Structure 1
């Protein structure tokens, strides 16, 4: 990696600011992380409830087509014709049982099989349609959450998730039987690491709604789940009654079953964030666009067993509390951008809250510590091959 070297500080609580800004590092990150041996959540199967439903996405530049075939099976393909790699589907989502390439009219089923192509008698001798299905990356499902990896060396999904799997399952209503409510999509003027360096320390300090709503912090814990630095938050709910700034106090009502763990967050390396806060179920699918831009798809869900009142309640909370313009998170976009700007200065970002020993990497943290991000940074450093300074 001659063109993308970086010396890492000796102390575990220091991160070089250059990691957020250097474009030469970005190209190596795409190769080693996003196209390397990592699992990336890309959608939930409830986004494709019916046979023939599909959606398209791009993950670190690679176009994907996710579909549910006539038999109800979810499949993931590269969104490229197996003939000359023309982008097969341009719609964001829809319903089709067949996909036709407009360039040479090759036709594919929802199972990815090549079912028709003009003039095959004039093709290479021995041509067989069975040899030209749509290409597929490795993919797997976890309670309906669809993961993709572009490497044959990636460990099995259950090993990748580790302890985070149990918190993620509970976050998705315990069984993953979700119902899509809708999306919010945004591009942040920030490197992907600036977006994903969000921590537990800032929330009650940055977000004005916590004070406006007289929100009370509950007890909880934060822990890393694997060597990759996946971080999980499990927090009790303690919502103040009678906030004076809301005419409709049901907006922050909690109708769940267990207020002792009413809030859960799972951050999976490199960019996935999932949140269950109050009655909001929010999965955030993020991808780097370039070294200075990150795109995030906020997807909101209900449970399939919700009655009409609960469905409406979740919908109102989803669109008002979380997301790029939510009451308790609207300030994040500005901070992501300002981190990116400020990181163009010399030196290191130095973590403080929750750091008991700069020479030691821990795995258990208090709910509002910023030190929970450090195992993720250490994994990033090791994957990128950066040597730690000795003195």
Structure 2
């Protein structure tokens, strides 16, 4: 990737990547976003320290990914590699994927089952809770070398994170005194989170992984921006999944303003009914767009919810998707200011019939890196990152719905984005 002050197309803006003390938020306040929040290495480093390594609960796994004692999964908290492991007593533990000896990333497989973890460099070994259990030649050879007599294994285990689980979803935090997960998620978010995760056992259906050439915060913005959903996505508006005029909501949590739920109720009609005035506003609407296989958009009403679609953003690294009957979580892994990795896990429920499994998989083509919806978002965010990184302008405007901050009663609003940046500014000290 190019650095944020590389000359491309004859322009550069070094100020976007200057020292962090030189950054001043625009006078427009929450109605403007400065380009440097997306491009600065110094800002990114502070985000890792204060957000991902700070007082947040970060998604790391679904319990269904580590169902048995000895099961483990490589994961991330921000850019930091961690291991999620289920110990012999059934408890789940999260610890840094970094040997306490010389720093090697000891867990190299994406998932598996182990009795212990052994660092490939010097074979220091750790149990499934991250405790140091063995050191080769700890007392030296022939009474020469080895560790000093006061060395204690119990003082040199892996760095352990606080762990919280809710209905099969595992979160971790570097802050050992974090508030409860329920308090952090807030009642507004738990209302729809618990619809997807009601306590039923989950069935993993598959995985995707892709890199997006954009800043990690843009993905949060994208899913707090119902305005774009009514304009960018032909599939959404033609088939009525999220279209101006539908019963919809953009809910932000009232405690922090960082979590959100974009929701919509699809009509019983396969195709959206849109009046001519709205069609003129939505260039992505195509009257001739039809489905060869109409099973693709069948909606089995299996949830205790008024919504057929909910997309939840849980700060700082989780998206919970419920697009009719396709279910998934998306795990954001920041990769510097100009890139992010997205880890997708698609799932259903253990008691699903085989017909329902096939239905979820069929409908899952909406999602993923090349899905009918995901591909358009990925491209749009790439265009935004290129714009803020290469131009000599210095801010973007977020003025839809005026000064409102938080929950919006309409789709033509950026109130949830402003709520996110209100909290972001406080945590980051801007």
TM-score calculated relative to the size of structure 1 = 0.89
Q: Hey, what's the Cα distance between the residues in 2 that align with 1:234 and 1:255?
A: 17
Q: Does the 8 Å contact 1:65/1:77 carry over to 2?
A: yes
Structure 1 residue runs without a partner (length 5+): 387-391
Could you say which residue in structure 2 is the equivalent of 1:26? 44
Aligned to 1:351: 398
- Cα separation, partners in 2 of 1:362 and 1:264, compared to 1, 3 Å: closer
Matched, 1:337 2:365: no
* Change over 3 Å in CA distance of 1:284–1:368 after alignment to 2: farther
Report what 2:416 is aligned to: 372
Whole-angstrom CA distance in 2 between matches of 1:200 and 1:151: 33
Pairwise CA RMSD: 2.3
For residues 175 and 37 of structure 1, do their structure 2 counterparts lie closer, same or farther at Cα, with a shift above 3 Å needed?
Answer: same
Q: Could you tell me whether the CA contact under 8 Å between 2:261 and 2:311 is conserved in 1?
A: yes
Q: Identify, as 1 or 2, the structure richer in strand.
A: 1
Is residue 294 of structure 2 the alignment partner of residue 249 of structure 1?
Answer: yes
Relative to structure 1, is the Cα distance of residues 216 and 192 closer, same or farther in structure 2, using a 3 angstrom cutoff? closer
Q: Deviations over 1:282-307 (max 9, x none)?
A: 11100211110011111111011111
Determine the structure 2 residue equivalent to 1:192. 216
Q: 1:234 aligns with which of 254, 263, 270?
A: 263
1 CA distance for matches of 2:110 and 2:256? 35
Whether 1:167 and 2:192 are equivalent positions in the alignment is yes
CA-to-partner distance for each residue in 1:106-158, whole Å, 9 max, x for gaps? Answer: 22222333333322333221444344433211221122211121224543322
Q: Is residue 57 of structure 1 aligned with residue 85 of structure 2?
A: no
**377, 383, 387: which is aligned to 2:427?**
383
Matched residue of 2:82: which SS? strand
Residue aligning to 2:170: 146
Counterpart-to-counterpart distance in 2, 1:40 and 1:47: 16
Distance of 2:227 and 2:242 partners within structure 1: 15
Confirm or deny that 1:208 pairs with 2:261: no
- CA shift digits 1:294-350 (9 cap, x unpaired): 1111111101111111112112222x1112211133201111111112224314322
Residue 134 and residue 362 in structure 1: after superposition, are their counterparts in 2 closer, same or farther (change >3 A)? closer
In 2, the alpha carbon distance for the partners of 1:26 and 1:239 equals 45
- Tell me by how many angstroms 1:91 deviates: 0.9
From 288, 293, 296, give the equivalent of 2:334. 288
Written as runs of structure 1 = structure 2, the 5 A alignment for 1:76-155 is 76-122=94-140, 123-152=147-176, 154-155=178-179
Displacement of 1:39 after TM fit?
1.5
Tell me the residue number matched to 1:306: 352
Alpha-carbon distance, 1:216 to partner: 6.5
- Equivalent of residue 277 in structure 1, options 323, 339, 356: 323
Structure 1 residue 42 corresponds to structure 2 residue 60: yes
Name the CA distance, whole Å, in 2 between partners of 1:4 and 1:296.
31
What 5-or-longer segments of structure 2 have no aligned partner? 1-18, 141-146, 272-287
Kept in 1: contact 2:33–2:397 (CA 8 A): yes
CA distance in 2, matches of 1:301, 1:368: 31
Q: Which of 1 and 2 has greater Rg?
A: 2
Q: Using the TM superposition, name which of 201-210 and 126-135 deviates more.
A: 126-135
2:117 and 2:128 in contact (8 A); partners too: yes
Report the alpha carbon displacement of residue 21 of structure 1 after superposing the two structures with TM.
Answer: 2.1
> Are the aligned partners of 1:216 and 1:239 in contact in 2 as well (CA < 8 Å)?
no
Following the alignment from structure 1 to structure 2, what is the Cα–Cα distance between the partners of residues 197 and 134? 35
Cα contact 1:365–1:372 (8 A) shared by 2: no
2:61–2:75: 8 Å Cα contact kept in structure 1?
no
1:389 corresponds in structure 2 to: none
Q: Is the 8 A contact 2:260 2:313 kept in 1?
A: yes
- Whole-Å Cα distance in 2 between the matches of residues 125 and 4 of structure 1? 50
Q: Is the 8 A contact 1:216 1:240 kept in 2?
A: no
Q: State which of 326, 332, 337 in structure 1 corresponds to 2:371.
A: 326
Is contact 2:250–2:263 with CA below 8 Å preserved after alignment?
yes
Question: C-alpha distance in 2, partners of 1:222/1:55?
Answer: 33
TM-score using structure 2 length: 0.82
User: Structure 2 vs 1, CA of residues 239 and 19 (structure 1 numbering), >3 Å: closer, same or farther?
Assistant: farther
Aligned residue for 1:201, secondary structure, equals helix
How many Å apart are 1:86 and its aligned residue?
A: 2.2
Q: Is the 8 A contact 1:171 1:264 kept in 2?
A: no
When residues 166 and 267 of structure 1 are mapped into structure 2, their CA distance, relative to the original with a 3 A threshold, is: same
Deviations, residues 353-376 of structure 1 (Å, cap 9, x unaligned): 3x1x43x53434324533221100
1:221 matches 2:226: no
Kept after mapping to 2: 8 A contact 1:189/1:293? yes
